[in-house]
Amino acid sequence: MLSLSQWPKRDDLYKHLDSLLSTSADPLALTALLIINLDNFRDSCELFEYRDIEEFLAIVGQSIKDACPESSYIAWLGSDEFAVVPALQAAAEVKETAETICQKLAEAKEFRDRQVHITGSLGYALFPYDARDRYELIRNATMAMNWVKKQGKNGFARFEPAMSQQVNRKMKLISDFGPALEQQQFRLQYQPQVIVASRAIVGAEALLRWQHPEYNLIPPLEFIPLAEESGYINQIGEWVLCQACRDFNTWLEKGIVLERLAVNVSIVQLQKPDFAKRVLHALEEARLDPAYLELEITESQSMDLPKVKPQIEQLRNHGVRFAIDDFGTGFASLNHLRYMGFDTIKIDKAYIHNILTNNRDQVIVNSILNMAKHLQLGIIAEGVETDDQWRYIQQTAIKEVQGYYCSPPVDRPVLEDLIRKKCL
Ligand code: C2E
Ligand code: CA
Ligand code: CA
């Protein structure tokens, strides 16, 4: 039986690298470090008994060893991560070895009478070109491995400085959230929600913008995930709610009346036990009737909904409504969503984008419409951009849309003008 117990571990690898980098006769001799992490290994583990996992990892380790030139140094870094210091002299050979390792990993492995398919992500860095010392060599090879993961896994890459710039930007953005809140770098734009039959504006969705002092306007798709990861989404989301409620109430006081204020919330916010209380507080502060507010949660976060159902219920009891955003991109069933307390389905813009040409998308949209009608859920189509799409939607049961065809997200005064004109 293969076993990893005798393999060099992380500490041994560090010592080995130190000895290579410091005592080498030629201080500029090439030393490569390859870091390999298996893809989705946790999912594969579910196939095994717990005690089998290490044995399977030993088989994987052996296939890595088989792909390397003889007398290469191979360490098991714990869990599903391995490192290789290949016995090679040239950068081109290292690349070839990286490729061979990935190929060998992807070959089906025979284990306990079954074929197991796995893949790996491999990053590597070369001393002295990509790193000045052992610390940088490990950091940069790991960064390259993480970069491969983000690009879709199952592949290899050599470290490039641009990878560290990406990470630096991420770290900088996270550390800039605090000052951004203090210095009011966030602002809201609003996109009208329009009734198809009359072209009247019924509602507006608040969309967050970050005017960063150095990077200029940063798209929410870049910074919202970082805010979720770092926990700042709670403070930022609260600012969005309070500001949007205040804006909406100012409109009402000016006689600019809409039925709905749509605000995006992250599931991270809902997981805070005092979320419902905070929303009700924001409404109260702005003196806004909860019946105007519709909170949007994206379908991709819907697997965590059961945990937050009590928060949803509490808010629904006060009249707040809920919409599921980007519907069709995840796996949530409409039945389940109805049960969770959703009132509205927002059909993802990807479906609308292809609606004229893709028969499959037409069929999916039609079945969403049928189900929604049956379950008495409201429907909004997102991402309507062209005249043709608008005309197609007029033929369907879709009553409301949002999209560039009617208006992009705009600043508050522009929306006020649009609403005063009554319709688009
Ligand atoms: P979303 O909630 O699906 O918002 C709609 C996005 O589609 C907006 O992008 C909007 O500008 C864009 N859009 C509108 N009409 C069209 C169209 O006709 N065609 C195309 N191609 N796009 C259209 P934006 O403003 O960049 O926001 C991206 C996402 O960021 C939002 O997607 C939402 O998930 C998230 N987001 C924005 N503001 C907030 C916020 O305050 N809190 C949270 N948690 N997420 C937010
Ligand atoms: Ca939304
Ligand atoms: Ca959406």
Asked which of 159, 185, 218 is the last residue of a domain, the reply is 159
Q: Read off the pTM.
A: 0.76
Number of structural domains found in the chain: 2
Q: For residue 381, what are the CA distances in angstroms to 369, 397, 399?
A: 11, 11, 8
For ligand 1, what atom is nearest to the CA of residue 384? 18
3-state helix, strand, coil split of the chain in percent (to 5) is: 50, 20, 30
Q: Which of 234, 264, 355 to mutate to test the pocket of ligand 1 (most atoms within 8 A of CB)?
A: 264
Task: Evaluate whether residue 283 is within a structural domain.
Answer: yes
The residue type found at 149 is: K
Quick check: is 2 in a domain? no
Pocket test for ligand 1, best of 189, 191, 207 (most atoms within 8 A of CB): 207
Q: Identify the CATH number of the domain in which residue 272 sits.
A: 3.20.20.450
* pLDDT value, residue 181: 97
> How far apart are alpha carbons 230 and 347 in whole angstroms?
29
Q: What is the DSSP string of 143-192?
A: HHHHHHHHTTSSEEEE--HHHHHHHHHHHHHHHHHHHHHHTT-EEEEEEE
Quick check: is 117 in a domain? yes
Residue 384 lies in a domain: yes
Indicate if 109 and 184 belong to the same structural domain: no
Q: Which two tokens stand for residue 6?
A: 């005798």
| pLDDT score of 164 more than 90 | no
Nearest in space to 86 (alpha carbons), one of 60, 98, 68, 99 = 68
Token readout for 283 is 């409404």
- 242: enclosing H helix or E strand: helix 233-253
CA of 357 to the centre of ligand 2 (A): 25
CA angle 294, 300, 304 (to 5 degrees): 80
Does 319 lie in the same domain as 245? yes
- In this structure, the answer to whether residues 220 and 243 fall within a common structural domain is yes
Whether residue 344 has pLDDT greater than 90? yes
For residues 315 and 371, membership in a common domain is answered with yes
Within this chain, do residues 185 and 316 fall inside the same structural domain, yes or no?
yes
**pLDDT digit string, tens, across residues 90-125:** 999 999 999 999 999 999 988 888 888 899 999 999
Pocket lining for ligand 1, CB < 6 angstroms? 191, 207-208, 219-221, 224, 237, 240, 264-266, 296, 298, 325-326, 349, 383-385, 402-404, 409
Is 165 within the bounds of a domain?
A: no
* pLDDT at position 51 over 80: no
CA separation, residue 73 to residues 81, 148, 248, 342 (Å)? 14, 23, 64, 56
* Ligand 1 atom index nearest CA of 404: 18
CA atoms within 13 A on the CB side of 107: 13
Q: Which pLDDT score, from 0 to 100, does residue 27 have?
A: 63
* Band of pLDDT at residue 172, cut at 50, 70 and 90: very high
Write down which residue in 140, 159, 178 finishes a domain: 159
The atom of ligand 1 lying closest to the CA of 265 is 44
Beta strands in 267-424 (DSSP E): 293-298, 321-327, 344-347, 378-382, 400-402
Distance CA 377, CA 172 (A): 42
Q: Mean per-residue pLDDT for 237-259?
A: 97
Give per-residue pLDDT as tens, 10-32.
999 999 999 998 865 576 689 99
Q: Based on the domain organization, do 178 and 107 belong to the same domain?
A: no
Same domain, 386 and 295: yes
Which of 103, 124, 159 terminates a domain? The answer is 159
Domain that holds residue 179: 170-420
Whether 359 is in a domain gets the answer yes
| Average of per-residue pLDDT across 286-314 | 94
CATH code of 90's domain: 3.30.70.270
277 in any annotated domain: yes
Angle between helices 233-253 and 275-285 (to 10 degrees): 30
